[in-house]
């Protein structure tokens, strides 16, 4: 990660791997989950709204949602909204969890794709 007048270089796209997302530590906004969703770069706060899994260790699914690595809640990376509550053992209460813990959106940050890397801007 390097800072310049054109923003902070977060991660080269070819380092994202098949998950489409990674954790970038110690940015000006703390640790972020940074990746590509439907070909567009994103950066959001790294902690899941459920029980704080590192979202950068999750995956981006075919629809472009960020999927939590622990219980597979899904997030819209543009709005930060939880679009699906936790699954697995939490599935029976996924709706109430989404309505309570998930009602606070992830923080979203402005980024751009440049020279094969994702930059934090603004
Ligand atoms: S910690 Fe993310 S869904 Fe449970």
Q: Is 51 in the pocket of ligand 1 (CB under 6 A)?
A: yes
Distant-in-sequence contacts of 10-16, Cβ < 8 A, 24+ apart:
10/34, 10/43, 10/111, 10/117, 10/118, 10/119, 10/120, 11/117, 11/118, 12/116, 12/117, 13/113, 13/116, 13/117, 13/118, 14/116
What domain range includes position 46? 2-120
Please count the structural domains in the chain: 1
Structure tokens at 91: 């599935």
Residue 1 has pLDDT above 80, yes or no: no
Ligand 1: centre distance to CA 88 (Å): 10
Ligand 1: centre distance to CA 61 (Å): 16
Does the pTM surpass 0.85? The reply is yes
CATH code where residue 45 lies:
2.102.10.10
pLDDT in tens, 39-60: 999 999 999 999 999 999 999 9
């Amino acid at each position: 990660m390097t800072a310049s007048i054109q923003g902070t270089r977060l991660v080269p796209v070819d380092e994202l791997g098949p998950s489409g997302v990674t954790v970038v530590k110690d940015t000006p906004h703390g640790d972020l989950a940074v990746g590509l969703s439907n070909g567009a770069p994103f950066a959001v706060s790294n902690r899941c709204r459920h029980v704080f899994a590192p979202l950068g260790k999750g995956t981006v699914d075919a629809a472009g949602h960020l999927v939590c690595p622990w219980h597979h809640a899904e997030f819209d990376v543009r709005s930060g909204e939880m679009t699906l509550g936790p699954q697995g053992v939490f599935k029976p209460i996924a709706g109430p969890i989404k309505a309570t813990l998930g009602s606070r959106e992830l923080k979203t940050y402005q980024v751009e794709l440049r020279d094969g890397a994702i930059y934090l801007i603004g």
